[in-house]
């Protein structure tokens, strides 16, 4: 009887070890794409895919120094983040528009460096891990920049947006009538 119990116990331990290995391998393969992904500047994006601000067309997203960045892996875009560059933190999209136009026009008189604050006003991911990756990559790019010194969001007042930014180590800096602002720091 003791031998049977010992045998069953050993088989059970072996099965658990094997299952842990399988799960670990599948988990690692699941995020393999992250290692080969790169941050790219896009000329446009499919605004119908934007869950945050689909009403903003590509002209808005690329005029007055505004940018669209994507995380590309094997010629496919897996996450997108749109930015405006300002010198103040906006409280809504209209203010974002005005502040980014103002920063753009000021830059024309100086050294073509638009604004000091990168305002991320929309971010979405098509693949698990893409949102976190694009935030990380954009933050690295901003830190390397000569003129940008802050990454701040103009996020909707939703639980999903709040959880996403807090989970990615952003700090809530203000809650406005229509939006909330999070800041990414070191």
Q: Report the pLDDT value the prediction gives residue 112, as an integer from 0 to 100.
A: 60
Topology of the domain comprising 38-184: Aminopeptidase (3.40.630)
Q: What pLDDT is attached to residue 13?
A: 79
Q: What is the dihedral of CA 67, 119, 56, 97, to 10 degrees?
A: -100
Of 136, 123, 33, residue with least CA distance to 75:
33
- The mean predicted confidence, pLDDT, of the chain is 86
Banded model confidence at residue 74, pLDDT cuts 50, 70, 90:
confident
* Position 25 pLDDT exceeds 80: no
pTM: 0.78
pLDDT tens column, 48-73? 999 999 999 999 999 998 999 999 98
pLDDT score of 90 more than 60? yes
Judged against a pLDDT cut of 60, whether residue 27 lies above it is answered with no
Strands (E), the chain: 38-42, 67-73, 76-86, 117-125, 150-153, 155-156, 170-175, 179-184
Tell me the mean pLDDT in the region 85-94.
Answer: 95
Per-domain boundaries in the chain: 1-30, 38-184
Q: How confident is the model at residue 95 (pLDDT cuts 50, 70, 90)?
A: very high
Write the pLDDT tens digit of every residue in 105-152.
887 766 666 678 999 999 999 988 888 889 988 888 888 887 788 999
Tell me if 171 sits within 8 A of 139, measured CB to CB: no
């Amino acid at each position: 009887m003791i031998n049977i119990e010992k045998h069953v116990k050993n088989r059970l331990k072996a099965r658990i070890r094997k299952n842990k290995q399988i799960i670990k391998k599948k988990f690692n393969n699941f995020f393999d794409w992250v290692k080969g992904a790169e941050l790219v500047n896009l000329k446009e994006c499919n605004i119908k895919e934007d869950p945050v601000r689909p009403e903003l067309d590509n002209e808005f997203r690329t005029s007055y120094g505004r940018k669209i960045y994507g995380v590309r892996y094997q010629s496919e875009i897996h996450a997108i983040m749109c930015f405006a560059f300002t010198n103040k933190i906006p409280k809504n999209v209209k203010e974002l528009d005005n502040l980014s136009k103002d920063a753009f026009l000021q830059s024309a008189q100086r050294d073509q460096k638009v604004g000091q604050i990168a305002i991320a006003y929309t971010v979405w991911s098509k693949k698990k891990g893409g949102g976190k990756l694009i935030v990380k990559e954009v933050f690295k790019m901003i830190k390397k920049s000569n003129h940008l010194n802050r990454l701040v969001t103009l996020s909707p007042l939703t639980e999903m947006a709040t959880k996403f930014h807090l989970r990615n180590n952003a700090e809530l800096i203000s809650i406005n009538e229509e939006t909330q602002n999070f800041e990414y720091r070191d």
